[in-house]
Amino acid sequence: MRILEVLTYYRPWVSGLTIYVERLSRALAAQEHDVTVLTSQYEKQLPRYDVMDGVKVVRVPVAARVSKGVLMPEFGPMAWKLAQKADVIHLHLPQFDAPGVALRGRLMGKPVVLTYHCDLELPPGAFNRLVNKVVLTMNQIAGHFADAVVTYTRDYGTHSPFLSQYLDKKLHIITPPVELSVCSTAVSQNFASQHNLDLTGKKVIGIICRLAAEKGVEVLLNALPLVWEAHPNAVVLHAGQYQNVLGEEAYAAKLAPLFAKYKNQYHLLGNLDGADVTAFYRQLDVLTVPSLNSTESFGLVQIEAMENSVPVVASNLPGVRQPVAMTGMGEVVPIGDPVALAQALIKILDNPAAYQRDPYLIAESFSPQETAVEYIHLFQNLLAGQKRGKTVEPPPYERLRQMRDDE
């Protein structure tokens, strides 16, 4: 099958959305499907045409930027050209260009699948309110032209203003792909020394995200004094981009004093890749996802941590609370509440054994191969003219719930 994946940012850009598409595309290619990714050339040094892990990548030059969005005059003609060669068009939202691509698919009679990764909630301000409205309009148009809409969990689908309108029509729930690189004992042992860390005898709290306002990093920073009262030796490892994050300069400046104050206990590691990501999780006693709004729809990092036997404290956001709810491997806390976050972290650090579950079942349930099979089944049904909606979660979620209920 010839599949066209379309999204604004692709690798080497690092975000949950790009990692999702990368894992899915590689899994589809490994199953001998012809996969092409259409995306932006967000940095001029990136090649226009590339092949990454068996996936063809076509990047369109960026003429201008609007907030975190990009304007690409050449995008439409390239989308038309590639769509003609595809059997299925797969769009990833939020994406400004999605309506035009979806319309092209409709005109060509090609099935259009839209995966909705999250609601867009930009920081306060008149301009950002305008951007939000424009993106919402673009989403609605793309949704109208799409044959199927996919999201990660029914929980998020029920609470999202965009997704909820498709609950009884064309909404499909497909397990997100999670995959970690194999990490040797030597790499794991060397991780701390590579980053000048002394973790001997310390409790280690992890967070993995870029420094962006919606990620709630300040909630963790404000929770730490209470954590240190119970565990004075606790340290934080923060993986993810923290410098020159597009559109987050003011947020970084706001948090800089606290980073400076806690520099001996809060370690900013920057982006990690490959085996170093697995090594990062192996250092942790607990991971936290303190996100603040629905731009976070699941938190793939939670499953990555759980696959490494690391419990999680997550915000009580639709979708984000689901990994803990499915597995029982952590705690869910009120959004933006540093006291509740501190209490949950302390509870897990005091008794980590109470949160241990089968990491192999979790890994199996969220494998990219499992995700790819679900998508191919959907694509085949659409190509055969079967456009029935499916709001029932797939078997892997049921296996996870059974694991939780058996405890």
CA distance 84 to 115: 21
Which tokens in the block code for residue 135? 């993106």
Query: What pLDDT is recorded for position 235?
Result: 97
Name the more confident of 249 and 407: 249
Domain identity same for 287 and 381: no
> Could you tell me if 307 and 362 are in contact, meaning their C-beta atoms sit under 8 angstroms apart?
yes
* Window from 165-169, 326-330, 356-360, 393-397 with minimum mean pLDDT: 393-397
pLDDT at 388: 46
The pLDDT score that the predictor gives to residue 392 is 46
Pick the range with the lowest mean pLDDT from 115-124, 203-212, 270-279, 343-352.
Answer: 115-124
Q: What is the average per-residue pLDDT within 193-214?
A: 92
- Rg of the chain, C-alpha, whole Å: 21
User: Would you say residue 339 has pLDDT above 80?
Assistant: yes
pLDDT of residue 102 exceeding 70: yes
Same domain, 384 and 354: no
Q: Based on the domain organization, do 294 and 390 belong to the same domain?
A: no
Looking at the structure, tell me whether residues 171 and 29 fall in a common domain.
Answer: yes
Query: For a pLDDT cut of 70, what percent of the chain falls above it?
Result: 93
User: Residue 386 has what pLDDT?
Assistant: 56
Q: Which residues contact 276 (CB under 8 A, 6 or more apart)?
A: 183, 187, 191, 194
Over 90: is that where the pLDDT of 196 sits?
A: no
The average confidence (pLDDT) of the chain is 91
Give 318-327 pLDDT, tens digit per residue: 999 999 999 9
Asked if the model's pLDDT at residue 389 lies above 50, the reply is no
If pLDDT is split at 50, 70 and 90, which confidence band does 228 have? Answer: very high
- Residue 18, domain member (yes or no): yes
HSE-up of 284 (CA within 13 Å, CB side)? 31
Contact 48, 56 (CB under 8 A): no
Q: How many domains does the chain have?
A: 2
Residue 52 and residue 119 in one domain = yes
**213 and 341 both lie in a single domain:** yes
Give me the mean pLDDT over the 81-110 stretch: 94
Would you list the DSSP string of 299-351? -HHHHHHHHTT--EEEES-TTTTHHHHHH--EEEE-TT-HHHHHHHHHHHHH-
Least confident of 10-14, 99-103, 110-114: 10-14
Torsion sign, CA atoms 275, 280, 283, 286: negative
Q: For residue 266, give the CATH number of its domain.
A: 3.40.50.2000
pLDDT at residue 387 greater than cutoff 70: no
Is residue 26 located within the same domain as residue 143? yes
Report the pLDDT value the prediction gives residue 245, as an integer from 0 to 100: 83
Q: Are residues 205 and 95 in the same domain?
A: no
At position 293, the amino acid (one-letter code) is N
Q: Is residue 137 pLDDT above 70, yes or no?
A: yes
pLDDT number for residue 129: 75
- Full residue range of the structural domain in which residue 82 is found: 2-177+367-400
Give the C-alpha separation, 211 to 160, whole Å. Answer: 24
- Pick the residue with more confidence: 142 or 69? 142
Confidence of residue 402 (pLDDT cuts 50, 70, 90): low
Read off the pLDDT of residues 364-373 as tens digits, 9 standing for 90 and up. Answer: 889 999 999 9
The confidence band for 406, taking pLDDT boundaries of 50, 70 and 90, is low
Q: Looking at the structure, do residues 223 and 351 belong to the same domain, yes or no?
A: yes
Is 111 in the same domain as 34? yes
Q: What is the mean pLDDT of residues 23-27?
A: 97
